[in-house]
Chains A and B, each alone.
Chain A
Amino acid sequence: MKKSIAFMFILLSFCVKAQMSLKVQRAEVTGKILDISNGEPLVSATITSPTSNGGGYSDTEGNFTASFLLGSHDIQIKLMGYDTKIISNVNLAEGEVVDLGIIKIGVQAQDAVKGGVTIRVKKATNSENALIVAQKKSVNLMDGVSAQAFKKAGDGDAASAASRVTGVSVDGGKYLFIRGLGDRYTKTVLNGMEIPGLDPDRNTVQMDIFPTNLIDNIVILKSFTPNLAGDFTGGWVDIQTKDFQSKEAMSISLSLGFNPAMNLNSNYLSHESTNADLLAFGKSSRNLPFSEPKVIPKSEYTQSGGGAQRAESNANAFSKNMDVMTQSSMLNTSFSLDYGNQYNKKNKTYGFNVATGYSNTFNYYENVIFQTYLRKEDKSVNELTLAEKNNGSVGENEVLWSTLANGSIKAGKHGFSTSIFHTRNGVKKSSKLFYENVANPFGDAGAKLDRTILYYNQRTLTNLFFKHEFKKDSAWKFITKLSPSISTNYEPDMKITALSVGEDGYKFNVGAGSEIKRLYRNLSEKNINSKFDAERKIFLGNSKVSKLKFGIAHNYKHRDFGVLQYVFQPIGSFNLNGDPNQIFNEYLYNAESDRGYAVFGEPIKSNEFVSSMNVMGAYAMNELPIGARTTAIYGFRVEKSDMFYTGENTNNEAYLNYKVLDEMNILPSASFVYRATSDVNVRIAASQTIARPSFKEKSLAQIYDPISGRTFIGNLDLEQTEITNLDLRFEKFMKRGELISVSGFYKHFNNPIEIVVYKPETPTNFTPRNAVSADIYGAELEIRKSLSFLSDKLSLASNFSYILSQVEITPNERIGKMIELREGQTLDDKREMQGQAPYIINVGMNYDNRESGFIANFSYNVQGPKLSIVGIGRLPDVYTESFHSLNLKSSYSLGKGKRSQVSFAVTNILNDIPVQVYRGFNAEDQIFSQRQLQRTFKVGYSLKIK
């Protein structure tokens, strides 16, 4: 009989006095834990007591030995996916070993265990160990990160939490790349249901809007099974919100963050705002000054019948503050509150949970750099030449708050749960940049501009979730889910002032790029996802069960996007002093003098679109045990998708609710899990999946992005991508949550979509196109290991991914590259895929001293340099360089019952700088963009009130 000696869970009531006494009187409890349904031993169940520290684990044979303080205890047995079993009033006397005998647990445990038993239902998926168990039992290739892990690592939002998972990298702090595959191939769902994204440019969900205090765990499935929607390839990311508590629990936490370069900095840039900004309601003070999008022609002031007066009032309708304000930034603050409880009445169990969180973060980047480098027109020169540069400072204030409330009722065979989730995010950005056109033939060479940009972004997501579970009998189970959501993304009143700077002061010189602009962008998306799943267990005898699953699903998505732009231009000429406010305070158009800056603008049709999509799915699959050790999972899914587009381009081509996509796909999947031993799984999986173009891609839209200066051109001829996936995985589970897994995968893409330059002559116009094909080969290694040879309190969790990608370049790209090849340079037919990191490394080192209450975690994350922008013509390729992220999080629990916890964290210990570079043939790398992140320190306090 093996003994487990590590203590994973610290539970309540550990008094300081007891800790200080040198010898503590303890006794042991032993037993064996079996699955109630098939009698198989269960590994990694935790055995704890709320009235004592210590505890134990079941080993691979289900046996356990747990150590507790002397006295009477309610022993709890927990395992993810199973009901928690509590054995009450177990008396431990000195020198005694209490044998609890065989304890059977199951999802539907009905029988009682000796000693007076209460059965409580709780899926403890938020522990790292429970997730590993889930991973072991999963029929998919599964990885995950639990609340426990992200608390340890100090992750503030879902994006950084998910970056702990094997093969996961985060792009721009928002989007998950799984196995280096971009957001196009990743599907993010909330509690298994589809939700709208918040980015006009992407098809997926921004992960940074989910604060970790609302998340129970994040599960990432890397292989497709027919019960999942078929449009993912890299990974299916399921953010599971907090479930209700098994007993009353309440906690609050507060934290303060300090970055020496960003917080309490008197140079911080902000702009005029109202208190509504503090709650991410900042749009209210930045609304369009007209009740509806208004057409204002430039010539308005010449119109008879009061045109001049109208021009004056239109110009004056806009708010007048265009400049940044220098003010001191505050400390980063965050606050969260959770409360949950469960009641049992008659035959019903009621549970609920309410959680809310708020955070306010300041970022200040001094000496931000954006540059353009070009290849020389002389093809014998390899070195890149500076064409234009921007540098300056950017102040950024981000407010994020979210609330989750859920409740559930369990009554006999029925379980009903519902939740409402609302998240709201406001980002206020104030930039002061100096632009210089050093020698750029694309613009006005020699031009210098002083550019002030004030920006606000308000995003919201509201999601309702209903689930009904009906377990008819031991064979049949039915689950129905319905999840409607609404999301909005507003960018109200982006204010841009660009004034030419010359030897003789400031000028409004249109040729040099001077402009004054007010821009409004709105995106809203509605989504209704519904699912019905049925599961039939077929008992094959010999305690083998075959599961037959089938179901239907429907998803409807509707997206509405629009841009409105108003431009101010001078009538007459004015002496400018460089202050962006001067024009609005002194020189707005005046009807009497018939001089001043007049406003004009109108909605531009090619910038707007309305799209919707219906996807209907149906599936059937079977989990079939073959022999003693193998399970086959096979089946297929049918998906019918229709996409509709309303919009027009600049050539008078217009469509009204035009069907742009009409596909019917049969997606087969087969996988085998071979349980070589009770601790070793070998998995092999093959499947067919798809990736659909986004609304914006499958459109005629021509959308100019004032932030990047690029124009996006939709492509109605775009086809969906079909992907063949092959996966092989070997996993070995060991005691105490230890794990080693090795995976290999191959993916073949037919018609992959790539965002490429429209044509070499227009290097700032981008469009999605189908490449012929692409292939990806990858290998992954994950190790979770206790470093008991050093200390039983040290453990290591690390993973490594290596990915080789190849995509055939399009003829267009070939032409664009060939004309500017350097002497001696050759062009391959294939290149790496855009945005695909060649390797990803995550290493985490944990120190966990439960007895003293001290926990520390060092985590390191890096990904290899990846191709971000495919160069064409004289524009070289842009690569995102590796960012070495090393972070420390530590906490110390103290006080009665260790209810209080103080924490200390340092992020970006290495003070690394995120940088993107131009990379030419045999040329020195040159900076494309760079900003200083600096190290951030954070202290926090949390209290478990109940």
Chain B
Amino acid sequence: MKNKTLLFSLILLSFFFTACDSDDDIITEPTDNANSVDHSGFISEDETWTSDKFHILKDRVVVKSGVTLTIEPGTIVKGEAGTGANASSLVIARGAKINAAGTAEKPIIFTSIADEIALGEKFGTNLDPTTATGFWGGLVVLGNAPTSPKTGSTEQIEGIPADVTEGNYGGPDAEDNSGTLTYVSIRHGGTLIGEGNEINGLTLGGVGSGTTVHHIEVVANVDDGIECFGGTVNIDDALVMYQGDDAYDIDQAYAGTIDNFIYIAGESSDHGLEIDGPEGSENSEGSFTLKNGSLMGNAVQGEFADFRSKARGTVDGLYFFGFNQNADVELDEPVVSGNFASGALNIANNSFNSSAWTLDEDGLPDGSTTTWSAVEDIFADKADGADAAASDAKFVSSGNKLVTAKDGGADKSEFIGWTLADAKGLLSDF
């Protein structure tokens, strides 16, 4: 019997591993520090962020539908470091509003916690905008305007987990109003927000034309500068510089106008413009307009523009300069090529500055087999079976031309006095 008792006690021993009772931990709520306020999680009541303190995004801060977040002119918002689910960002959900009406005197700054900018200042000095990218997330505004996602008429914005319903955008209301963004500068963002997915500086998903967006600067973002996923919002006076991917990225049949914009390429920037069309069958007629832009490339890498999957819209009166001589304007596939032929994609009256391009002894540019004798040489219709000659001819007859001096483009005065680009003296060439 002794054996049995021993074994019984062994069994009993194993029962001691029983875990303890449940304990429901709730986290959150803004904490007010001496000169800063921490923000975290969901904002479900109207709130105002005042300019007398730094506002710290501890993680993903989401303004819920029906709620308005007001950010006073001159306010500095700083994002904590973090990647993936820990990434800090400010998300204005569909149905919510942001009221961030800065002024040229008091712009609203979104930057990293690492930026040693002082309250009341417009610029910090410790971060090098050519390299200091990806220190926090970005600003995401979502709305209820028509969008053409890959399936259906709504979409989950990239980088926000599927279970966060506030990541949804797109809907029927073309005049939807997500609030006001004026004189807003977004710096050093673009961290890895989802897997293999870096956040853009300013992401506009299904944002409607009732929203006021002008005087926006995006500096040193890992991914794209400004990316519009569908929607109808108009953007005036935008500046993107030193981004890691594309400056202006258009997807899902964005149907607004971007007017008077500037681009300053960094050493690892890709395209000035990267434009896609509708992804699905809904709202697939949406058509954008880009006009009065000045885009400065660099001699190392980067392209003028890439028109891809079914892109449709108008690119009119842009001035490209400082690009390397292998840069091109590319049509990627047959539908976009057809759109160009039919006029659904209108690329007209753009000027390309060729003054810095050099030719080898053989009379050809370095590493290229074409000469720069004509503007069609920078035009690459890559669609299989496209009538290259007709396509080239149309590019020329649409008023696109090579130039050797400034010709049209943006009015840089809108960017003087409040942008980091101006403070760094980068606008002199525009």
Contacts and interface: CB of A to CB of B under 8 A. Distances in A.
B268 A554 contact: no
Given A377-B279, A439-B309, A528 B131 contact: no
A655 B22 CA distance: 9
A528 B164 contact: no
B268 A765 contact: no
A918 to B, nearest CB: 16
A572 interface: yes
Looking at chain A's contact residues, the main secondary structure is strand
Contacts of A511: 198, 223-224, 244-246, 270, 274
Interface in B252-279: 267-268, 270, 274, 276, 278-279
A8 B125 CA distance: 88
B427 to A, nearest CB: 23
A478 B15 contact: no
A659 B18 CA distance: 12
A128 B75 CA distance: 80
Contacts of B161: 606, 649-650, 702, 711, 713, 765
- Residue of B19, B188, B301, B309 contacting most chain A CB atoms (<10 Å): B19
A445 B308 contact: yes
Contacts of B132: 299, 302, 571
Interface in B103-151: 112-114, 126-128, 130-135, 149-151
Given A445-B276, A511-B245, A567-B192, A299 B4 contact: no
Contacts of B362: none
B11 A414 contact: no
B3 A651 contact: no
A711 B195 contact: yes
Given A379-B281, A480-B4, A873 B131 contact: no
Given A572-B131, A644-B19, A470 B4 contact: yes
Contact of A873 (B27, B126, B152): B152
A216 to B, nearest CB: 24
B82 interface: yes
B14 A602 contact: no
Interface string A557-579: 01000000101011111000000
Contacts of B224: 511
A530 B150 contact: no
Given A297-B81, A511-B270, A556-B17, A765 B162 contact: yes
Interface in B158-172: 161-164, 168
A594 interface: yes
Contacts of A538: none
Contacts of B270: 509, 511-512
Interface in B3-50: 3-4, 7-8, 10-11, 14-15, 17-28, 40-42
B25 A656 contact: yes
B155 interface: yes
Given A299-B135, A602-B86, A614 B163 contact: no
A606 B268 CA distance: 32
Contact of B156 (A569, A604, A606, A759): A759
Interface in B330-356: 332-333
Interface in A588-614: 594-595, 600-602, 604-607, 612, 614
A554 B14 contact: yes
Looking at chain B's contact residues, the main secondary structure is loop
B163 A761 contact: no
A466 interface: yes
Contacts of A558: 17
A711 to B, nearest CB: 7
Interface string A35-51: 00000000000000000
A561 B26 CA distance: 22
Contacts of B162: 711, 713, 758-759, 761-762, 765, 767
B381 to A, nearest CB: 14
Contacts of B426: none
A512 to B, nearest CB: 8
Contacts of B151: 760-761, 816, 819-820, 873-874
- Residue of A446, A504, A612 contacting most chain B CB atoms (<10 Å): A446
B208 to A, nearest CB: 19
Which of the four size classes fits the interface of chain A? Answer: 35 or more
Given A298-B191, A614-B19, A758-B163, A510 B14 contact: no
A515 interface: yes
Interface in A288-310: 297-299, 302-304
Interface in A650-675: 650-659
A321 B360 CA distance: 40
Contacts of B408: none
Contact of A468 (B7, B22, B196): B7
Contact of A530 (B10, B86, B196): B10
B268 A573 contact: yes
A760 B22 CA distance: 34
Contacts of A762: 156, 162
B97 interface: no
A843 to B, nearest CB: 44
Contacts of A654: 25-27
A605 B135 contact: no
A777 interface: no
A656 B84 contact: no
Interface string A402-419: 000000000000101000
A713 B279 CA distance: 26
A297 B135 contact: yes
Contact of B18 (A299, A504, A614): A614
Contacts of B284: 377
24 contacts: A299-B135, A304-B126, A377-B278, A377-B280, A446-B332, A466-B10, A508-B268, A511-B245, A513-B196, A532-B8, A569-B222, A573-B267, A601-B83, A604-B83, A607-B84, A614-B19, A651-B60, A652-B28, A658-B22, A761-B154, A765-B162, A816-B151, A819-B151, A873-B152
